[in-house]
Amino acid sequence: MGSSSLLDIIGSFIIGGMLILMIINLTGSISKMTYTYGMDMTVQKNMTTLVQMVESDFRKIGYCADPDGFPITAKSILEAGKHNISFLADINFDKTMDTVKYYIGEDEVLDYTSNPDDVPLYRVINNVNPSYFNLGTTQFDFLYYNALGDSMAFPITKDSLKGIFSIRLTVMLQSPAAYDSLYTYAYWRQLRLSSRNLLNR
């Protein structure tokens, strides 16, 4: 009888231990799913915000609410790099041409995040008060195409800027922190991001 009770106790301990391990694993899985889902929602929201802003600005390249305000659309792109672009556009539809610039900064600016690859993204209008977006940007790459649809080689000089007819932009955003060393990410590529004003010339 005594040995039977002892076996029952040992069995109870084993079953109880297994149940505790199962509960711990389940709790860890729920925590991971909750964290990953939350970070995924944040990254997706940031990507939506960025894409809407970029597409809105790029559609206005060379555009002016006053038809006579900027007739030479071939000169609308001022600078075209691998990770930066500067162009003229009437952003506020006030019949005045604005200088719009996108570029990425150094990762040291975001040293308060645990992601070593995220960099600040700058959007500057008329060179006034440059400020950055902390969207978790890890990739912001441009590729430019001429009227024939051929990609243009870097560096793109001032003389060849007028040959840009369309733009490809590749963006990747990641979460500021990882779960088990994995970062949540969102990827977007616009193959032919262009303004009608670039094509109509």
A 10 A CB-CB count for 156 gives 18
pLDDT > 90 in the chain, percent: 40
In terms of average pLDDT, the best of 84-88, 105-109, 197-201 is 84-88
The residue to which tokens 């940031």 are assigned: 46
The 3-state secondary structure of 2-42, one letter per residue? HHHHHHHHHHHHHHHHHHHHHHHHHHHHHHHHHHHHHHHHH
Q: Mind listing the pLDDT tens digit for each residue in 119-164? A: 999 999 998 888 888 889 999 999 999 988 899 999 999 989 989 9
SS3 category, 94: coil
pTM for this entry:
0.78
First to last CA, the chain: 98
With contact defined as beta carbons under 8 Å apart, do 79 and 86 qualify? yes
Q: How far apart are CA 155 and CA 158, in angstroms?
A: 10
Question: For the segment 59-72, what is each residue's pLDDT rounded down to a tens digit?
Answer: 999 888 887 777 67
Query: How many CB atoms neighbour CB 161 within 10 A?
Result: 19
- Tokens describing residue 62: 């060379």
More confident residue, 154 or 9: 154
Strand order in 132-145's β-sheet? 77-80, 84-89, 98-104, 119-125, 132-145, 166-174, 185-193
d(CA 76, CA 63): 9
Q: CA 81, CA 197: separation in Å to the nearest integer?
A: 20
For residue 77, is pLDDT > 70? Answer: yes
Facing residues of 77 across strands? 87
